[in-house]
Amino acid sequence: MVTARIEIENEVLKWPPAERVGLAERLLESVTDFATEEIELAWCAEIARRVGEVESGQLSDIPADEVFSQARKRLNEARQISSSRP
Each domain of the chain, given as residue ranges in start order, spans 1-34, 37-86
pLDDT of residue 35: 77
Distance CA 10, CA 28 (A): 19
- Dihedral, CA atoms, 70, 84, 24, 51, nearest 10 degrees? -30
pTM exceeding 0.75: no
pLDDT tens string 35-81:
788 988 999 999 999 999 999 999 888 899 999 999 999 998 888 87
Question: Does residue 8 carry a pLDDT above 90?
Answer: yes
